[in-house]
């Protein structure tokens, strides 16, 4: 697979940015702590499923101290509709206690400190750093892993390898929102079973050989999106709501 040239990568992101000027996470949250909790809950679960469980939870526990006081059993009952809820409840209560005891009740904004929390890996830390603190990190989930490999934008055999490839390929001016654009593109256009190539704004740049239909003309037209037309027709990710 021929690697992306810098100019091609820039055009790839330019088109994604034109179709979704201000992308956002679809997880609902109130503050950095509730974002952290929501991201931990989203592992091997859908954002929609997490969003159904968290309003009632965050209404009574939106700080580390309140979450720690809630306790593992009560938390497990409130998130029982989410996969691996017992393990997640244990980790969330434990990380809440650590934030209180080691960080004065404030979610740390350093990667090392975040990854030291129970249940927090590199992907979760990247999401929190990006969404809560505006860091230009790229969190690689299953959607981004698929899009990066399928398109050839950032191929790699592991999430860490894909992250490194995307870091190298993505122009600095696009890194702040890169992972949002890629995840939404993977969720709504470049889907796992049947990518929607006819409505893909980067189809002619994509290295995927088994496109679902001729799409060069669609992508070419999309490349000319102007100020008066910032979004293409078709299914799009809804903006996240912050309650």
For residue 98, what are its two tokens?
A: 């650590």
At 100, is the secondary structure helix, strand, or coil? helix
Q: Is 141 noted as a catalytic residue in this protein?
A: yes
Q: Please name the residues in contact with 210: beta carbons below 8 A apart, sequence gap of 6 or more.
A: none
| Exposure on the CB side of residue 127, measured as CA atoms within 13 A | 26
**Residue in 47, 123, 157, 175 annotated catalytic:** 123
211 tagged catalytic: no
Nearest residue to 15 via CA among 215, 161, 240: 215
Q: How far is CA 211 from CA 1, 202, 216, 227, in A?
A: 15, 12, 10, 29
Q: Name the active-site residue from 141, 175, 194, 196.
A: 141
Residues involved in catalysis: 123, 141
């Amino acid at each position: 697979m021929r690697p992306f040239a810098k100019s091609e990568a820039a055009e790839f992101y330019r088109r994604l940015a034109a179709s979704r000027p201000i992308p956002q996470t679809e997880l609902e949250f109130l503050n950095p702590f509730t974002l952290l909790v929501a991201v931990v809950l989203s592992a091997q679960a859908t954002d929609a499923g997490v969003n159904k469980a968290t309003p009632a939870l965050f209404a009574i526990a939106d700080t580390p101290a309140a979450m720690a006081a809630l306790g593992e059993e009560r938390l497990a009952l409130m998130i029982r509709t989410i996969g691996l809820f017992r393990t997640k409840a244990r980790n969330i209560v434990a990380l809440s206690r650590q934030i209180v005891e080691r960080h004065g009740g404030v979610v740390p904004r350093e990667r090392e400190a975040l990854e030291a929390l129970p249940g927090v890996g590199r992907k979760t830390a990247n999401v929190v750093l990006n969404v809560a603190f505006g860091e230009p990190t790229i969190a690689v989930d299953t959607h981004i892993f698929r899009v990066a490999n399928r398109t050839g934008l950032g191929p790699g055999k592991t999430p860490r390898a894909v992250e490194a490839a995307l870091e190298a390929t993505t122009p600095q001016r696009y890194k702040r929102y890169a992972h949002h654009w890629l995840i939404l593109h993977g969720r709504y256009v470049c889907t796992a079973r049947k990518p929607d190539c006819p409505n893909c704004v980067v189809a002619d740049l994509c290295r995927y050989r088994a496109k679902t239909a001729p799409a060069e003309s669609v992508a070419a037209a999309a490349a000319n999106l102007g100020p008066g037309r910032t979004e293409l027709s078709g299914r799009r990710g809804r903006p996240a709501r912050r309650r």
